[in-house]
Structure 1
Amino acid sequence: MAGALTRYRVMAYVVGVMLLVLVFVAVPLRYAAGVPEVSAVVSPLHGFLYIVYLVAAFDLALKARFTAKGTVLVLLAGVVPFVSFWAERRVSLRVRAGQPL
């Protein structure tokens, strides 16, 4: 389970950073400055990485036996800025302690 947790933690941070870049850099550049190129690169990259995050989070959920509600909440954590960082910390602490999520 340690490998699944590590994969999840890495992807949570990567997706969180990419979402922040998308929301606070790419989208403002697109709509305020008229520079759509950054958004054209960051948007699909975030989408692809989010799918990898979903796979890593679902793998961890199966191995750590998350509840259905806990699984859905962890899967959705990658779509709200800053939430993936909070969720990663909470999930890591609970999985290491052997507590259900």
Structure 2
Amino acid sequence: MTTLSIFRKVAVAEGISYLLLLFVAMPLKYWAGMPLFVKYTGWAHGLLFVLYIVILIMAWQEYKWKFSKTAMIGAASLLPFAPFIVDKKLKEEN
């Protein structure tokens, strides 16, 4: 398994966890008074975000990406749906 394939899997998982946090856990917390969902979804998303950044740095070094490409991919983790676009672009490159 390559660093890139691992990164792509983590990117998709991070994207899913972000969407769950924003569109499921947060509404449950504020509209249904169920804050526990945010606690666990947020914890999982945080772990996946850290993995995303660590593996992104590993891929940057291994594949000799330009800093600008790496920064754009890193910034994508902050936007809903963007990790899925990153996954698609990286898949097309290989």
TM-score by length of 1: 0.86
Q: Distance in 1 between matches of 2:72 and 2:90?
A: 11
In structure 1, C-alpha distance between the alignment counterparts of 2:92 and 2:55, rounded to whole Å? 17
1:5–1:92 Cα contact (<8 Å) kept: no
> What is the alpha-carbon distance in structure 2 between the residues aligned to residue 88 and residue 57 of structure 1?
12
Which residue is 1:99 aligned to?
Answer: none
1:67 and 2:49 matched: no
Shift of 1:91: 2.1
5+ residue gaps, structure 1, are: 97-101
Total equivalences in the alignment: 94
Q: Shift of residue 58 of structure 1?
A: 1.5
- The residue aligned with 2:2 is 3
Farther off after superposition, 4-13 or 54-63? 54-63
CA distance in 2, matches of 1:68, 1:5: 16
Paired AA for residue 56 in structure 1: I
Q: What is the TM-score when the length of structure 2 is the normalising length?
A: 0.92
| Secondary structure in 2 matching 1:79 | coil
- Residue 27 of structure 2 corresponds to 28
Alpha-carbon distance in structure 2 between the residues aligned to 1:87 and 1:23: 19
State, as a whole percentage, how many aligned pairs show the same letter: 27
1:46-85 to 2 correspondences below 5 Å: 46-85=45-84
How many angstroms apart in 2 are the aligned matches of 1:40 and 1:93? Answer: 36
**RMSD, aligned CA:** 1.2
Does the CA contact (< 8 Å) of 1:13 and 1:85 recur in 2? Answer: yes
CA distance in 2, matches of 1:32, 1:91: 38
Cα distance in 2, alignment partners of residues 12 and 79 from structure 1: 11
Report the secondary structure of 2:65's partner residue. coil
Residue 92 of structure 1 corresponds to which residue in structure 2? 91
